[in-house]
Structure 1
């Protein structure tokens, strides 16, 4: 009989317990082991595994919550490995395979892929968490580089579980919005971001965008998946000074390797994760009340 690896054992334990990854995420947050839904999903699919530190510590609580024998999941972890970033082209093919609605939505807007005209070099994401623990909007500042003369357009893509609750994109500076497209079967929504002027090949141009959420989120994490290498990626969360979380953790997932560390906010109420030359991979923050 083939030996089951960690991802299979973890997936089976979740199914047999009859719970969702969202349920597991919330229980972990409550117990002081905040593992993001993205990380849990990657562990189940085999794209990454708990590597060390707080992620490994959380496995003890996961085994208890899923009612499996202590050590039964951690014993199936393979050796720690950190492969280099995968080529962006391969990563995009994987994204299309995992999100079949992306290509139809892009095609409707006249795009073949995510980087037809512009490549993102810098991305800064900022979110304010209110006194009620909810996030109502995100602010994105990015620097784009032209791949050819006359470049001006790039797609923005999201997947909406509730298609009646789409967020609102509000251009702040350096850009405007064009056409939009929706693949209703998959819930993939795409809209066209247009820079304020056409660029020459290699030219850099910044823009700022606000994303207003139709339904404020009470999630306890914020991260960004960089599909290709970025010169700089910043994830910055600003908490209400009267409602600061009990613990905050910075994490990154590159290939099959996750690294995390607990943060000390000191006397402040903000937390950030920043990396240079980062991607493909995930960089983010998670916290618990």
Structure 2
């Protein structure tokens, strides 16, 4: 990318990856970096550049998503004039400012914030990759802890695809899906997950659900952004035995540091990353065919 400034390098990386800013925005939201489409557009045009600490943290994920070398975009930024907090310290107000629509969605569902009643303590995320290399649904098993007596609700927030379609949440055990709200202008889709019964303060309760995608996805990674510290986080990818990738690695991103480890499937067809006492940060598996 030669001597391009940040805007030029960002625009070129998006073009080479042949993706839209809407696609990039959706992937960032899924990974805990809700940068608005407008902000991405401003960065590409040079009208502005990332200044908040939260925005600069998102650049690490953007480099991964656009498949450029680490530091390709970050190195083209000058010193921040408005240094901000790390992801673990960012306030809900900053989160809402980065992604318009979340605050209204929470209000529509009767929430003041993301953790009004429940906090997640354990998450197991798994996916089956088909013989065609595509993913059609995700499976989530989690354990929630009540922050107060009577707690049983928590919000789930995703974004719609380019045609306004939303993934489908299918409860398996321990929960139901309650009210939903969709803001097509900001592409925010939110629903309330309701546990089977009210909990006493500090009580734990598991649930399981699947997330069915509107279209099969051909992404070559699976990860989870833990905004709060989790007692246990498992990311498990299961490949079709007849179509196993040639390279698989585990990675963890904590702050600005990324650690990777090449995995040997040993003749098997699955890979996992397991961490205890993990977060804030990203834990995942990625692969190459």
For 2:33 and 2:193, the matched residues in 1 are separated by: 31
SS in 2 for 1:252: strand
In structure 2, relative to structure 1, the CA distance for the partners of 1:205 and 1:74 (3 Å cut) is closer
Which residue in the other structure is 1:104 paired with? Answer: 104
CA distance in 1, matches of 2:75, 2:148: 51
Seen in structure 2, the aligned counterparts of structure 1 residues 39 and 192 have a Cα distance that, compared at 3 Å, is closer
Report the equivalent of 1:278: 278
Matched, 1:13 2:9: yes
Alignment of 1:141-180 (within 5 A): 141-180=141-180
Contact kept, 8 Å, 2:159 with 2:187, in 1: the verdict is: yes
Flag the 1:117–1:88 CA change in 2: closer, same or farther, 3 A: farther
Structure 1: which 5+ runs fail to align?
1-5, 25-36, 64-72, 79-84
CA drift at 1:14:
3.4
SS at 2:69 equivalent: helix
The normalised TM-score by structure 2 is 0.76
Contact kept in structure 2, 1:91 and 1:227, CA below 8 Å: no
* Equivalent residues in 2 for 1:26-41, closer than 5 Å: none
> In the alignment, what sits opposite 1:47?
57
Give the conservation status (yes or no) of the 8 Å contact 1:120–1:230: yes
- Look up the SS of the partner of 1:133 in the other structure: coil
1:12 counterpart SS class: helix
Shift, 1:193, TM fit: 0.5
1:177-215 per-position Cα deviation (integer Å, ceiling 9, x unaligned): 100011222101000100000000000000000111110
Matched, 1:190 2:190: yes
Structure 2: how far apart are the matches of 1:270 and 1:93? 39
Q: Contact 1:155/1:191 (CA < 8 Å) preserved in 2?
A: yes
SS of corresponding position for 1:14: helix
**1:85-128 Cα shifts (integer Å, max 9, x gaps):** 94745254443222111111111000011100000000000100
Asked if structure 2 preserves the Cα contact closer than 8 Å seen for 1:49 and 1:258, the reply is no
Query: Is the 8 Å Cα contact of residues 124 and 140 (structure 1) preserved in structure 2?
Result: yes
Identify unmatched segments of 5+ residues in structure 2.
Answer: 21-29, 36-49, 79-84
**Whole-angstrom CA distance in 2 between matches of 1:20 and 1:38:** 22
| Aligned position for 1:261 | 261
Which secondary structure does the structure 2 equivalent of 1:103 belong to?
Answer: helix
- Cα RMSD over matched residues? 3.4
Q: Which residue of 1 aligns with 2:69?
A: 59
Number of positions where the alignment pairs a residue of Structure 1 with one of Structure 2: 250
1:49 and 1:164 mapped to 2: Cα distance? 26
Q: Distance in 1 between matches of 2:122 and 2:199?
A: 17
CA distance change for structure 1 residues 122 and 244 in 2, over 3 Å: closer, same or farther? same
TM-score for both structures, normalised by structure 1:
0.76
Structure 1 residue 113 corresponds to structure 2 residue 113: yes
Q: Does 1:223 align with 2:219?
A: no
